Amino acid sequence: MWTLNSLLKLCLVLLGSILLAVSAFAQDLKLEDLVNEALRNNPEILVFRARIDAARQRVPQAKSLPDPMLTFGYQNEGFDRYSYGEEQGSQWMFGVSQQFLFPGKRALKGEMAERDAESQEAMFELLKLKTVARVKELYLELFLAHKNIDLLKGRQDLFARIEDLALVRYSSGKAIQQEVLMAQTEKYMLLEKEAMFKQKIESLGAMLRATIGREGSATLGRPGDPSYQPFLYNTEEAVQMALSHSPEIKSRNKMIEAADTKVKMARKEFFPDFSINAGYFNRRGDFKDMWSLASTINIPLYYKSKQEPALLEAKAILTQAKQELEAAKLMITAAINDNISMIKSADKLMDLYKSGLIPKNTQDVELALSGYATGRTEAIVVLSRLKTLLEYETQYWTQFTEREKAVARVHAIADGLDSKSGGEKK
């Protein structure tokens, strides 16, 4: 029979199991899953996919002939009576006409629509790469916020040791009260920073949910430690790879092709289109039915105010497309240089923090704590060295995060760089 104590124990065990499961789930935030979800549900990607579908549907429309025209009516002789079958000119008329563009125009219109769709598809690939990079950046920012909280909690015991030593020294008359207050203030400042990082985690979680297209406000959980991604390209190789594989460059080239086709189309507009008209005239009585076949041709009489300005407009658009391509190349080159410079700088700083500053300052903190316990070192020196150590540790992971974000941005600019990247941790 269950007693109250046994029920309480069971509830506590179940609660502990639930909390453990939730904690385990919260730790299982994988970058790959977030990237796949973003590629499926990101609102911008869904909008752009629909835009491409619309662009593709414009291709057969552009190649199609204009709709045929059906004509029907009645012709009567005189106004005094219905003279159908009695008078030669009284008849029912039926006709059909079809307009035909000058040879080559339909093909050029279809080509323009095709190039526009291909340009949209290239920009869609760029959007997907940028979305992946955005997810990676937010993931890394989220990781950094959690890592900073870990660093703060990991150093709280040292600040607590300083506070305890200050209290002991103050109680024995070997230290002033100000040393105790300084130690306690630093401890409370750590709690303040922790609260700020927790708020940042909530903000980053909201931005990440919006990027991956996930509704609701449920906590995403904690990212795992990201892998260090070796970047084995020099700047020149990366720039060449970017200019060869960048979806933006592909899109700009398609825009140039479309603009060039528009110039050809503008030249074709100087030539007339024509339509063929077939008619049938139904008469009654002794009057035979009649038929007709005619053609209508438009005359580009006002080419000075219509066709010539259209050609100049098409040429200007072509020049604009070429200049936009050159501008895109310059922007890509600058972005590659900037991000690779950031990667190299981060590598040097990370090595400096990991191999030099952090180990040295860890020893300094231990020596300062020992000195403070024996009265050879002042409290402000110990606190200063401990804050410096915490700053170096924070800066190491900040540089790690900024480096990985720069790598993600380079991959977004130049698709195809992953083949020389690994996944070792540093």
Distant-in-sequence, close-in-space partners of 342: CB < 8 Å, separation ≥ 6: 402, 403, 406
Mean pLDDT within 377-397? 80
Question: What are the distances in angstroms from CA 313 to CA 15, 111, 300, 304?
Answer: 72, 18, 18, 13
Mean pLDDT within 192-221? 85
Tokens of 118: 């291909």
Distance from first CA to last CA of the chain, Å, rounded? Answer: 57
pLDDT of 247 above 90: no
Residue 281 in 3-state DSSP? strand
Helix-, strand-, coil-residue percentages of the chain, each rounded to 5: 70, 10, 20
Q: What is the pLDDT of residue 6?
A: 53
- What average pLDDT does the structure give for the chain? 82
Confidence of residue 308 (pLDDT cuts 50, 70, 90): very high
Instruction: Find the DSSP H helices in 91-176.
Output: 105-171
pLDDT of 324 above 90: yes
The values of phi and psi at residue 187, to 5°, are: -65, -40
Q: What is the pLDDT of residue 29?
A: 82
**What DSSP string runs through 44-78?**
HHHHHHHHHHHHHHHHHHHHSPPPPEEEEEEE-S-
Tokens of 97: 């006409």
More confidently predicted of 10 and 298: 298
More confidently predicted of 126 and 174: 126
Distance CA 124, CA 44 (A): 10
| Residue with the two structure tokens 């700053």 | 391
pLDDT of 22 above 60: no
Distance CA 160, CA 72 (A): 99
Confidence of residue 379 (pLDDT cuts 50, 70, 90): low
pLDDT of 287 above 70: yes
Q: What is the pLDDT of residue 263?
A: 94
Q: What is the pLDDT of residue 417?
A: 54
Whether the model clears a pTM of 0.85, i.e. scores above it, the answer is: no
Q: What is the pLDDT of residue 164?
A: 65
Structural domains present in the chain: 126-274+305-420 (1.20.1600.10)
More confidently predicted of 399 and 416: 399
Q: What is the pLDDT of residue 367?
A: 78
Among 165-174, 200-209, 218-227, 372-381, top mean pLDDT goes to: 200-209
User: Comparing C-alpha atoms, which of 236, 425, 219 is closest to residue 333?
Assistant: 236
The pLDDT tens digits for 150-181 are 888 877 776 666 666 666 665 666 555 666 66
More confidently predicted of 55 and 224: 55
Q: What is the pLDDT of residue 5?
A: 53
- Given a contact cutoff of 8 angstroms between Cβ atoms, the answer to whether 95 and 71 are in contact is yes
Distance CA 381, CA 156 (A): 17
- Given a contact cutoff of 8 angstroms between Cβ atoms, the answer to whether 59 and 261 are in contact is no
Confidence of residue 426 (pLDDT cuts 50, 70, 90): very low
The pLDDT tens digits for 29-84 are 888 888 898 999 899 999 999 999 999 999 999 999 999 999 999 999 888 888 88
